[in-house]
Amino acid sequence: SDKPASPDIGPMTQEALKDIRRPRNVEAIFKQPLRRPAQYGVPVCDLQLRTFSVRNMEFFADFAMRAAYYLGLSAKGPIPLPRIIERWTVPRSNFVYKKSQENFERITLRRLIQIQDGDSEVVKMWLAYLQKHQYYGVGMKANVFEFEKLDVGKAMDEQAQKEQDLVDESWKGFGRRKDAPEQGEELLEIINADPVRKAGTDMPMGRTSWDKY
Protein backbone atom coordinates (compact mmCIF):
# COMPACT_ATOMS: atom_id res chain seq x y z
CA SER A 1 0.00 0.00 0.00
CA ASP A 2 1.17 3.58 -0.70
CA LYS A 3 -0.26 4.84 2.59
CA PRO A 4 2.57 5.94 4.93
CA ALA A 5 3.05 3.74 7.96
CA SER A 6 2.65 4.99 11.51
CA PRO A 7 5.81 6.63 12.95
CA ASP A 8 5.56 4.34 15.98
CA ILE A 9 6.37 1.33 13.77
CA GLY A 10 10.02 0.54 13.29
CA PRO A 11 11.74 0.40 9.88
CA MET A 12 11.93 -3.38 9.88
CA THR A 13 8.21 -3.65 10.58
CA GLN A 14 7.47 -1.18 7.80
CA GLU A 15 9.46 -3.26 5.33
CA ALA A 16 7.63 -6.39 6.45
CA LEU A 17 4.25 -4.70 5.98
CA LYS A 18 5.16 -3.76 2.40
CA ASP A 19 5.81 -7.40 1.59
CA ILE A 20 2.43 -8.55 2.91
CA ARG A 21 0.16 -9.52 0.08
CA ARG A 22 -3.29 -7.94 -0.03
CA PRO A 23 -6.39 -10.21 0.15
CA ARG A 24 -7.49 -11.73 -3.12
CA ASN A 25 -10.82 -9.90 -3.21
CA VAL A 26 -9.03 -6.57 -2.70
CA GLU A 27 -6.32 -7.43 -5.22
CA ALA A 28 -8.96 -8.31 -7.83
CA ILE A 29 -10.23 -4.73 -7.83
CA PHE A 30 -6.93 -3.51 -9.33
CA LYS A 31 -6.91 -6.16 -12.08
CA GLN A 32 -9.02 -6.91 -15.13
CA PRO A 33 -12.33 -8.72 -14.51
CA LEU A 34 -12.10 -12.50 -14.59
CA ARG A 35 -13.95 -14.31 -17.39
CA ARG A 36 -15.47 -17.75 -17.73
CA PRO A 37 -14.97 -19.50 -21.10
CA ALA A 38 -18.05 -20.38 -23.12
CA GLN A 39 -18.52 -24.05 -23.99
CA TYR A 40 -20.90 -23.73 -26.94
CA GLY A 41 -21.02 -19.99 -27.63
CA VAL A 42 -24.82 -19.78 -27.81
CA PRO A 43 -25.95 -16.19 -27.06
CA VAL A 44 -28.68 -15.90 -24.45
CA CYS A 45 -28.57 -12.18 -23.62
CA ASP A 46 -27.33 -8.98 -25.27
CA LEU A 47 -26.98 -6.09 -22.82
CA GLN A 48 -26.43 -2.67 -24.36
CA LEU A 49 -25.16 0.18 -22.18
CA ARG A 50 -25.62 3.82 -23.18
CA THR A 51 -24.27 6.97 -21.59
CA PHE A 52 -22.81 10.40 -22.29
CA SER A 53 -19.83 9.93 -19.93
CA VAL A 54 -16.84 7.69 -20.66
CA ARG A 55 -15.99 7.38 -16.96
CA ASN A 56 -19.47 6.17 -16.01
CA MET A 57 -19.46 3.71 -18.91
CA GLU A 58 -16.11 2.16 -17.99
CA PHE A 59 -17.05 1.85 -14.33
CA PHE A 60 -20.44 0.20 -14.87
CA ALA A 61 -19.22 -2.07 -17.67
CA ASP A 62 -16.47 -3.32 -15.37
CA PHE A 63 -19.04 -3.86 -12.61
CA ALA A 64 -21.33 -5.84 -14.97
CA MET A 65 -18.47 -8.10 -16.10
CA ARG A 66 -17.45 -8.86 -12.51
CA ALA A 67 -21.05 -9.60 -11.51
CA ALA A 68 -21.40 -12.01 -14.45
CA TYR A 69 -18.25 -13.88 -13.43
CA TYR A 70 -19.31 -14.35 -9.81
CA LEU A 71 -22.75 -15.58 -10.94
CA GLY A 72 -21.10 -18.22 -13.12
CA LEU A 73 -22.00 -16.62 -16.47
CA SER A 74 -19.79 -16.50 -19.54
CA ALA A 75 -19.67 -12.83 -20.58
CA LYS A 76 -18.13 -11.44 -23.76
CA GLY A 77 -17.26 -7.77 -24.01
CA PRO A 78 -17.63 -4.94 -23.42
CA ILE A 79 -17.69 -4.43 -27.20
CA PRO A 80 -17.63 -0.79 -28.41
CA LEU A 81 -20.54 0.10 -30.69
CA PRO A 82 -20.77 3.04 -33.11
CA ARG A 83 -21.44 6.33 -31.39
CA ILE A 84 -24.73 8.15 -31.89
CA ILE A 85 -24.04 11.80 -32.76
CA GLU A 86 -26.91 14.30 -32.72
CA ARG A 87 -26.61 17.98 -33.62
CA TRP A 88 -29.01 20.91 -33.33
CA THR A 89 -28.75 24.45 -34.69
CA VAL A 90 -30.87 27.08 -32.92
CA PRO A 91 -30.95 30.91 -32.75
CA ARG A 92 -28.86 32.42 -29.98
CA SER A 93 -31.76 34.49 -28.64
CA ASN A 94 -35.53 34.20 -28.51
CA PHE A 95 -35.94 36.63 -31.42
CA VAL A 96 -37.27 34.58 -34.33
CA TYR A 97 -35.38 36.54 -37.01
CA LYS A 98 -32.08 36.50 -35.15
CA LYS A 99 -29.20 35.95 -37.59
CA SER A 100 -26.68 34.60 -35.09
CA GLN A 101 -27.07 30.87 -34.44
CA GLU A 102 -25.60 28.33 -32.05
CA ASN A 103 -24.79 24.64 -32.52
CA PHE A 104 -25.31 21.89 -29.95
CA GLU A 105 -23.95 18.37 -30.16
CA ARG A 106 -24.72 15.27 -28.11
CA ILE A 107 -22.64 12.08 -28.37
CA THR A 108 -24.06 8.84 -26.99
CA LEU A 109 -21.51 6.13 -26.19
CA ARG A 110 -22.54 2.49 -26.40
CA ARG A 111 -21.09 -0.82 -25.22
CA LEU A 112 -22.35 -4.37 -25.73
CA ILE A 113 -22.00 -7.23 -23.24
CA GLN A 114 -23.10 -10.66 -24.47
CA ILE A 115 -23.90 -13.58 -22.17
CA GLN A 116 -23.34 -17.03 -23.70
CA ASP A 117 -24.43 -20.51 -22.55
CA GLY A 118 -26.21 -19.13 -19.49
CA ASP A 119 -29.33 -20.34 -17.72
CA SER A 120 -32.31 -18.05 -18.23
CA GLU A 121 -33.02 -17.77 -14.50
CA VAL A 122 -29.41 -16.82 -13.75
CA VAL A 123 -29.46 -14.25 -16.56
CA LYS A 124 -32.62 -12.68 -15.10
CA MET A 125 -30.93 -12.60 -11.70
CA TRP A 126 -27.90 -10.88 -13.24
CA LEU A 127 -30.07 -8.26 -14.95
CA ALA A 128 -32.04 -7.64 -11.76
CA TYR A 129 -28.80 -7.20 -9.81
CA LEU A 130 -27.51 -4.67 -12.35
CA GLN A 131 -30.81 -2.81 -12.28
CA LYS A 132 -30.76 -2.67 -8.49
CA HIS A 133 -27.22 -1.24 -8.41
CA GLN A 134 -27.48 0.77 -11.63
CA TYR A 135 -24.92 3.57 -11.88
CA TYR A 136 -26.17 7.09 -12.49
CA GLY A 137 -26.04 8.36 -16.06
CA VAL A 138 -25.94 4.86 -17.61
CA GLY A 139 -28.94 3.38 -19.44
CA MET A 140 -29.48 -0.32 -20.12
CA LYS A 141 -31.35 -2.24 -22.82
CA ALA A 142 -31.36 -6.05 -22.75
CA ASN A 143 -32.43 -8.58 -25.39
CA VAL A 144 -32.96 -12.00 -23.79
CA PHE A 145 -33.14 -15.17 -25.92
CA GLU A 146 -34.84 -18.32 -24.62
CA PHE A 147 -34.71 -21.63 -26.49
CA GLU A 148 -37.72 -23.96 -26.30
CA LYS A 149 -38.69 -27.34 -27.74
CA LEU A 150 -40.29 -27.77 -31.15
CA ASP A 151 -43.75 -28.26 -29.62
CA VAL A 152 -43.63 -24.93 -27.80
CA GLY A 153 -46.83 -23.83 -29.55
CA LYS A 154 -48.79 -26.69 -28.01
CA ALA A 155 -47.39 -25.93 -24.57
CA MET A 156 -48.33 -22.26 -24.94
CA ASP A 157 -51.90 -23.20 -25.94
CA GLU A 158 -52.23 -25.46 -22.90
CA GLN A 159 -50.93 -22.73 -20.61
CA ALA A 160 -53.31 -20.20 -22.15
CA GLN A 161 -56.25 -22.58 -21.63
CA LYS A 162 -55.32 -23.07 -17.97
CA GLU A 163 -55.14 -19.33 -17.43
CA GLN A 164 -58.48 -18.88 -19.21
CA ASP A 165 -60.10 -21.46 -16.91
CA LEU A 166 -58.79 -19.61 -13.88
CA VAL A 167 -60.14 -16.33 -15.20
CA ASP A 168 -63.55 -17.85 -15.97
CA GLU A 169 -63.77 -19.32 -12.48
CA SER A 170 -62.91 -15.98 -10.86
CA TRP A 171 -65.13 -13.79 -13.06
CA LYS A 172 -68.11 -16.06 -13.66
CA GLY A 173 -70.30 -13.97 -11.35
CA PHE A 174 -69.36 -10.66 -12.96
CA GLY A 175 -71.26 -9.10 -15.86
CA ARG A 176 -73.59 -10.99 -18.13
CA ARG A 177 -73.67 -14.77 -17.84
CA LYS A 178 -73.18 -16.98 -20.85
CA ASP A 179 -76.19 -19.11 -19.87
CA ALA A 180 -78.50 -16.08 -19.71
CA PRO A 181 -81.64 -16.33 -21.91
CA GLU A 182 -81.36 -14.79 -25.35
CA GLN A 183 -85.08 -14.47 -26.24
CA GLY A 184 -87.23 -11.58 -25.07
CA GLU A 185 -90.06 -13.87 -23.93
CA GLU A 186 -87.76 -15.67 -21.52
CA LEU A 187 -86.55 -12.36 -20.13
CA LEU A 188 -90.14 -11.20 -19.60
CA GLU A 189 -90.96 -14.39 -17.72
CA ILE A 190 -88.03 -13.81 -15.39
CA ILE A 191 -88.89 -10.13 -14.89
CA ASN A 192 -92.61 -10.77 -14.32
CA ALA A 193 -91.94 -13.46 -11.74
CA ASP A 194 -93.45 -12.76 -8.33
CA PRO A 195 -90.16 -12.41 -6.39
CA VAL A 196 -88.85 -9.89 -8.90
CA ARG A 197 -92.08 -7.87 -9.02
CA LYS A 198 -92.39 -7.79 -5.25
CA ALA A 199 -88.82 -6.58 -4.94
CA GLY A 200 -89.52 -3.75 -7.41
CA THR A 201 -92.77 -2.42 -5.90
CA ASP A 202 -91.05 -0.67 -3.00
CA MET A 203 -88.82 1.33 -5.31
CA PRO A 204 -89.68 4.99 -6.11
CA MET A 205 -90.09 4.04 -9.78
CA GLY A 206 -91.07 0.46 -9.18
CA ARG A 207 -93.69 0.46 -11.92
CA THR A 208 -91.91 -0.58 -15.08
CA SER A 209 -92.78 -0.11 -18.74
CA TRP A 210 -93.77 -3.75 -19.19
CA ASP A 211 -96.49 -3.58 -16.54
CA LYS A 212 -99.93 -3.98 -18.04
CA TYR A 213 -102.49 -1.36 -17.13
Side chain identity at residue 144, one-letter code = V
Per-domain residue ranges of the chain? 25-144, 152-201
Instruction: State the fold for domain 25-144.
Output: Alpha-Beta Plaits (3.30.70)
pLDDT above 70 covers a percentage of the chain that reads 78
> What confidence score (pLDDT) does residue 142 get?
92
Specify the DSSP class assigned to residue 45: E
Q: Any residues with CB less than 8 A from the CB of 208 and at least 6 apart, and which?
A: 191, 200
pLDDT in tens, 11-68: 888 777 777 887 887 888 888 888 889 888 889 999 999 999 999 999 999 999 999 9
Phi-psi region of 188 (alpha: psi -120 to 50; beta: other; left: phi over 0): alpha
Using DSSP, state whether 100 is helix, strand or coil. Answer: coil
3-state secondary structure 101-141: EEEEEEEEEEEEEEEECCCHHHHHHHHHHHHHCCCCCEEEE
* pLDDT of 199 higher than 70: no
